[in-house]
Amino acid sequence: MKNDAVKLKAANQEEKEFLARLEQEAGTQVSLCYQCGKCSAGCPAAFAMDYPPREIIRLLQLNMLDEAINSNSIWVCATCETCSERCPRGVDIASLMDTLRREALRQGKKGDNKVAAFNAAFLSSVKYLGRTYEAGILLQHNAVTMQPFKDANLGLPMMKRGKISILPARIKGRDQMKKIFERVQEQREEN
Q: Count helices and strands (H / E) in the chain.
A: 11, 0
115 vs 182, beta carbon nearer ligand SF4: 115
Residue 132's closest CA among 80, 92, 175?
80
Residues 6 or more apart in contact with residue 156 via CB below 8 angstroms: none
Whole-angstrom Cα distance, residue 176 to residue 170? 13
Q: Which of residues 30-59 bind ligand SF4 (CB under 6 A)?
A: 33-39, 42-45, 53-54, 57
12 vs 31, beta carbon nearer ligand SF4: 31
Minimum distance from residue 91 beta carbon to ligand SF4 (Å): 4
Region binding ligand SF4 by CB under 6 A among candidate stretches 1-9, 92-100, 124-132, 182-190: 92-100
88 vs 148, beta carbon nearer ligand SF4: 88
Minimum distance from residue 22 beta carbon to ligand SF4 (Å): 15
Taking CB under 6 A as the rule, does residue 29 contact ligand SF4? no
**Stretch 108-147: interaction string toward ligand SF4, x if CB under 6 A:** ----------------------------------------
**117-131 burial, b for 16+ CB within 10 Å, e for fewer?**
bbbebbeebbebbbe
Q: Using CB atoms within 10 A of its CB, is residue 75 exposed (0-12), middle (13-18) or buried (19+)?
A: buried
| DSSP reduced 3-state for 32 | helix
Taking CB under 6 A as the rule, does residue 80 contact ligand SF4? yes
The number of CA neighbours under 13 Å toward the Cβ of 120 is 14
What are phi and psi for residue 22, nearest 5 degrees?
A: -60, -45
Taking CB under 6 A as the rule, does residue 104 contact ligand SF4? no
Taking CB under 6 A as the rule, does residue 91 contact ligand SF4? yes
Which residues are near ligand SF4 by CB under 6 A? 33-39, 42-45, 53-54, 57, 77-83, 86-89, 91, 93-94, 97
